[in-house]
Amino acid sequence: MIRHIFLGKARAEATPEQLEELCAAWRSLVGQVPGLRSLVAGRNISPRDQQYTVALVADLDDMEAWERYMQHPAHVAISQRLTSKLIQSDGRAMVQLVMEGQ
């Protein structure tokens, strides 16, 4: 299993409501993308570190499923309609981890 982690820093003009819409859109991908086992997303509520505004953690079957997820029309649509407008292009971090024994 692969765990995909995305962190994003919101643009100054992004409202809390827009960020909630983005997170809800991300969560809606479960059931639409083959190989996407689970996905949680939300706004950063940490009182200590606000470098990143939103986070997404998704579990996928394997790297091929991750590639399909990244190219899936529903994911691409969210990226174009919301992510690219609300998240700074230079304020993103992403990693994929192999989850042993999962």
Of 42, 96, 101, 100, which Cα lies nearest the Cα of 70? 96
Taking the model in full, what pTM does it have? 0.92
- Domains of the chain by start residue, with CATH: 2-93 (3.30.70.100)
The C-alpha atoms of residue 87 and residue 12 are separated, in whole angstroms, by 9
What pLDDT is recorded for position 7?
98
The C-alpha atoms of residue 55 and residue 27 are separated, in whole angstroms, by 11
What pLDDT is recorded for position 102?
61
Are the CB atoms for 9 and 91 separated by under 8 Å?
yes
pLDDT tens for each residue of the chain, 102 residues long: 999 999 999 999 999 999 999 999 999 999 999 999 999 999 999 989 889 999 999 999 999 999 999 999 999 999 999 999 999 999 999 999 999 876
